[in-house]
């Protein structure tokens, strides 16, 4: 029996058969790509600065106790970030993370979790004992020691527990003595879709179900939540929806897209971004192919196969399954930016300003600064979920920052404690609903009406109101006497039935006339008060427009008399 061929020899033989000019084309293309990325990179900037890196910029509320008691003690967040020199381009960092990054070696413990609607989730656990060298004495995936905190991780789009950045996070977090569980999205992690429901960027029900389950199983265990990329969008939206009614002590959102509509416009703007758009669309198509029978029944399969972008896939699949009217409607409703103001627990947000997938244009700077529960940490470089550091690119900066923040928060007294509320927090309303509301007064003036006028305008408002009431209170004395007389006659029973009936008929007729004339007089008064120039302009236009007809009539009636008068003063021949 022939021995199996050596795969390396087969590879060399295949490479030997490739024409030499093809090698030259490939090498030239690689050099062009490298030079392009080198021009966009910050290597020269780091070189001239002595490789000191760029400082971490922190955005927070000046009254934030989270910053004063927790973040102010985080050395990593108050330091600087220096990217790996030979990965100084955000594109190099992002591509290296997905294709060449070295990951820690370990095995998860899998728990299959069934949701109330019949869906199946793969919960992949990594215990601290699995990486510390200690022997595990139980086959249970849930630790019996409730004093050990648990970090729940929400992956990004088409990512699962085997992704490089998630393995970095899980390993180094478990190394610190904590347990980690990665809640894979429906249909990912090698688990079939068992219900007519798929996950999307705004689907928060699964994370809510998993968190409540873990809290019910171990009510004394401290739970933290970490979301990455689309998982960060889901995390912030979940926090904003449930407000304080969440059994989570703190959370971290890494590289969130924030506003899906802005991110959609950004990722189709340039050729480089279109490369990422196409790559993510291919990943979504691969996800759909894994569950083709359901996608063929619930969505437009022909459109899915022809999708060249994320938007195409969302139009033919996500929008239809999620029952959204349009793709833009889906993006607007599922963006986490509108939920930032409702976050009621400690939240650290980390973003890179050169992220080639989630643009800095979508970061809600003012909303994060207004919420005392949020601290936003931004660095100039880092790519998307990469942040490689060290000459060998063996570690991720954001993983160290997340672990330090959670450790300091855990040792402080500012961890969130669940508070039962009757109604979840609502997101920010649109500008159409917020006003300013319009108030139309009786004198025809239109003014913006705010719910809470400032103290500077209170006196002015009172003065306007007093003048308004004064004007309407000035009723002529004769009118008052006339009205009193009418009332007295109506109440008096001394007059005869005929006179009483006549008086009632007359008063009814006068009331009807007043009902017709009064609005006309009021509108004329409003028009004259608003702008006397406008009133006289209308009068001028009316006279000018009707003058040919009126002038002809006047000339026909008074023309002869006018001629006699004019000619009467002249002597006749």
Looking at 411, 430, 447, the residue that finishes a domain is 411
Looking at 369, 396, 411, the residue that finishes a domain is 411
**What pTM, to 2 d.p., does this model score?**
0.69
CB 173 within 8 A of CB 396: no
What does 514-565 look like in DSSP terms, one character per residue? HHHHHHHHHHHHHHHHH-HHHHHHHHHHHHHHHHHHHHHHHHHHHHHHHHHH
Q: Are residues 368 and 401 in the same domain?
A: yes
Kindly state the DSSP code that residue 80 receives in the 8-state scheme. Answer: E
Could you tell me the CA-to-CA distances from 119 to 144, 181, 191, 197, 199 in Å, in that order? 26, 18, 10, 7, 10
Q: Are residues 164 and 186 in the same domain?
A: yes
Q: Are residues 113 and 196 in the same domain?
A: yes
Position 544 in a domain: no
> CATH number for the domain including 93?
3.40.50.1820
Q: Are residues 253 and 267 in the same domain?
A: no
Q: Are residues 323 and 356 in the same domain?
A: no
Looking at 286, 309, 333, the residue that finishes a domain is 333
Q: Are residues 38 and 186 in the same domain?
A: no
Q: Are residues 209 and 291 in the same domain?
A: no
Number of domains in the chain: 3
Position 280 in a domain: yes
CB 313 within 8 A of CB 285: yes
Position 354 in a domain: yes
- What whole-number distance in Å separates Cα of residue 312 and Cα of residue 122? 28
Position 291 in a domain: yes
- What whole-number distance in Å separates Cα of residue 41 and Cα of residue 572? 106
How far, in whole angstroms, is CA 255 from its chain's centroid? 14
Position 188 in a domain: yes
At residue 151, the pLDDT reads 98
- What whole-number distance in Å separates Cα of residue 548 and Cα of residue 417? 83
Beta strand 388-389 pairing with 374-379: unpaired
Q: Are residues 303 and 399 in the same domain?
A: no
Q: Are residues 121 and 181 in the same domain?
A: yes
- What whole-number distance in Å separates Cα of residue 471 and Cα of residue 166? 72
Kindly state the DSSP code that residue 112 receives in the 8-state scheme. Answer: E
Beta strand 223-228 pairing with 150-154: parallel
Q: Are residues 45 and 177 in the same domain?
A: no
With H, G, I as helix, E, B as strand and everything else as coil, classify residue 41.
coil
Position 521 in a domain: no
Q: Are residues 315 and 281 in the same domain?
A: yes
pLDDT average per 10 residues of sequence, the chain (573 residues): 51 62 58 53 53 86 96 97 88 90 94 96 96 64 78 96 97 96 96 94 97 96 97 98 95 98 94 91 95 96 96 97 95 97 97 96 97 97 94 94 98 90 51 34 37 40 42 44 44 44 48 50 51 50 55 60 52 44
At residue 323, the pLDDT reads 93
Position 191 in a domain: yes
Position 250 in a domain: yes
- What whole-number distance in Å separates Cα of residue 225 and Cα of residue 13? 50
Q: Are residues 228 and 299 in the same domain?
A: no
Radius of gyration of the chain (CA): 38
Cis peptide, bond prior to residue 354, ω within 30 of zero: no
The parent domain of residue 398 ranges over 57-131+147-259+335-411
Other residues' Cβ atoms within 10 Å of the Cβ of residue 551: 10
């Amino acid at each position: 029996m022939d021995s199996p061929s050596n795969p390396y020899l087969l590879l060399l033989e295949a490479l030997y058969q490739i024409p030499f000019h093809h090698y030259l084309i490939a090498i030239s293309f690689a050099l062009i790509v490298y030079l392009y990325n080198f021009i966009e990179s910050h290597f020269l900037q780091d070189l001239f600065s002595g490789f000191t890196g760029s400082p971490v910029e922190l955005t927070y509320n000046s009254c934030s106790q989270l910053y004063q008691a927790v973040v102010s003690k985080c050395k990593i967040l108050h330091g600087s970030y220096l990217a790996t020199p030979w990965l100084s381009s955000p594109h190099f960092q992002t591509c290296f993370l997905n294709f060449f990054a070295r990951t820690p070696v370990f095995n998860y413990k899998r728990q299959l979790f069934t949701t109330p609607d019949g869906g199946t989730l793969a919960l992949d656990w990594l215990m601290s004992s699995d990486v510390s060298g200690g022997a595990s004495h139980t086959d249970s995936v849930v630790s019996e020691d409730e004093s050990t905190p648990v970090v729940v991780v929400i992956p990004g789009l088409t990512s699962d527990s085997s992704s490089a950045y998630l393995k970095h996070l899980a390993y180094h977090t478990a190394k610190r003595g904590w347990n980690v569980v990665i809640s894979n999205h429906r249909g990912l992690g090698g688990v079939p879709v068992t219900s007519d429901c798929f996950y999307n960027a705004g689907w928060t029900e699964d994370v809510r179900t998993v968190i409540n389950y873990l809290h019910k199983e171990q009510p004394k265990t401290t739970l933290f939540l970490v979301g990455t990329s689309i998982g960060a969008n889901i995390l912030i939206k979940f926090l904003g929806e449930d407000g304080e009614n969440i059994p989570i002590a703190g959370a971290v959102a890494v590289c969130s897209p924030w506003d899906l509509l802005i991110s959609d416009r950004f990722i189709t703007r340039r050729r480089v971004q279109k490369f990422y758009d196409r790559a993510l669309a291919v990943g979504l198509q691969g996800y759909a192919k894994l569950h083709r029978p359901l996608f063929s029944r619930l969505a437009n399969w022909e459109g899915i196969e022809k999708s060249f972008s994320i938007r195409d896939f969302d139009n033919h699949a996500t929008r239809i399954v999620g029952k959204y009217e349009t793709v833009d409607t889906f993006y607007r409703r599922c963006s986490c930016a509108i939920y930032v103001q409702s976050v009621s627990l400690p939240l650290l947000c980390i973003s890179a300003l050169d992220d080639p997938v989630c643009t800095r244009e979508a970061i809600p700077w003012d909303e994060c600064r207004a919420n005392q529960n949020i601290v936003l940490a931004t660095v100039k470089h880092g790519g998307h979920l990469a942040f490689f550091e060290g000459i060998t690119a063996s570690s991720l900066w954001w993983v160290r920052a997340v672990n330090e923040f959670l450790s300091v928060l855990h040792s402080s007294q500012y961890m969130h404690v669940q508070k039962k509320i009757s109604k979840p927090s609502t997101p920010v309303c649109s500008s159409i609903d917020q006003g300013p509301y319009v108030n139309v007064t009786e004198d025809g003036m239109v003014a913006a009406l705010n719910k809470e006028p400032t103290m500077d305008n209170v006196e002015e408002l009172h003065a306007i109101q007093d003048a308004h009431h004064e004007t309407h209170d000035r009723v002529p004395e004769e009118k008052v006497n006339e009205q009193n007389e009418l009332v007295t006659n109506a109440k008096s029973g001394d007059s005869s039935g005929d006179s009483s009936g006549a008086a009632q008929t007359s008063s009814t007729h006068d009331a009807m006339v007043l009902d017709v004339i009064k609005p006309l007089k009021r509108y004329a008064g409003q028009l004259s008060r608003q702008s006397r120039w406008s009133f006289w302009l209308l009068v001028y236009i009316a006279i000018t427009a009707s003058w040919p007809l009126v002038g002809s009539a006047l000339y026909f009636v008074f023309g002869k008399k006018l001629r006699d008068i004019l000619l009467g003063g002249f002597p006749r021949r």
